């Protein structure tokens, strides 16, 4: 039980779209991730998707609308809603997902989510 | 579905130890709160307790140890662990708790958690 400094954790990797687990909250993984470029459109049938911008900004595309999500802003995608995050410049994000959730919405293409 | 700016939400109230709900994540309330002074020792039997410091710093007392939790740091108190947050200067925190969790660990003394 100790404080987790998210900037220290972010300094441990440089890969994009590669969430790293930094803590556990109930049955959820608490993760940090670096966005750069465009992620595929996907959805999660069973869970909402939690994004909080730590640094920079990204765009969340949701079917017919797009939202810019800036540093200090939270964006929650309700379960079942198709979405695509994308970032022109690197953006650092805090993510929360129930353990076992594939980040792409598909087990076959999902990232490993290493713990750091 | 839109971005939630936490600073805008924090500017809507000035009370301490008074969490305000800003979003929903699965069956959890996502809240902002202002700490100042000392909260009572308490515990949650059924849930971990999620704290992320948005501004300032606070101290988390846990039985025989104390941790300073600074801006950009996360602290998760596992379920069943007695804890007390306290802050010498006002500190702004993002909290996540399952809906219905009394912030004091006791329904009788719990805050209302209004939505803003």
Residue in A5, A69, A81 closest to B3 by CB? A69
pLDDT of residue A106: 85
3-state class of B3 per DSSP? coil
Query: What ipTM was predicted for this assembly?
Result: 0.94
Residue in B7, B26, B47 closest to A48 by CB? B26
Domain A6-101 superfamily per CATH: Jelly Rolls (2.60.120.10)
Model confidence pLDDT, tens digit, residues A47-75: 999 999 999 999 999 988 999 999 999 99
Separation in Å, CA of A40 to nearest CA in chain B: 19
Structure tokens of A97? 């997902």
Residue extents of the structural domains in chain B: 6-98
| Fold classified for B6-98 | Jelly Rolls (2.60.120)
* Cβ <8 Å between A3 and B76: no
Nearest to A17 by CA among A90, A68, A73, A81: A90
Per-residue pLDDT tens digits of chain B, which is 116 residues long:
899 999 999 999 999 999 999 999 999 999 999 999 999 999 999 999 999 999 999 999 998 899 999 999 999 999 999 999 999 999 999 999 999 888 888 888 888 899 99
Q: Which residues contact B77 (CB under 8 A, 6 or more apart)?
A: A1, B44, B48, B49, B51, B60, B62, B83
Residue of chain B with shortest Cα separation from A45: B26
Other C-beta atoms within 10 Å of A55: how many? Answer: 15
* CB-CB neighbors (< 8 A) of B78 in chain A: 1
* Cβ <8 Å between A1 and B68: no
Per-residue pLDDT tens digits of chain A, which is 116 residues long:
899 999 999 999 999 999 999 999 999 999 999 999 999 999 999 999 999 999 999 999 998 899 999 999 999 999 999 999 999 999 999 999 999 888 888 888 888 899 99
* Cβ <8 Å between A72 and B54: yes
């Amino acid at each position: 039980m100790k404080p987790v400094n998210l900037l220290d954790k972010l300094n441990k990797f440089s890969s994009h779209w590669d969430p790293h687990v930094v803590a556990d909250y109930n049955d959820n993984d608490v993760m940090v991730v670096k966005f750069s470029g465009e992620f595929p459109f996907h959805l999660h049938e069973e869970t909402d998707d939690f994004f909080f911008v730590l640094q920079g900004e990204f765009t969340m595309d949701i079917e017919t609308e797009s939202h810019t999500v800036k540093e200090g802003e939270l964006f929650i995608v309700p379960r079942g809603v198709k979405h695509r995050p994308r970032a022109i410049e690197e953006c650092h994000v805090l993510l929360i997902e129930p353990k076992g959730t594939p980040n792409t919405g598909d087990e076959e293409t999902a990232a490993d989510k290493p713990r750091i």
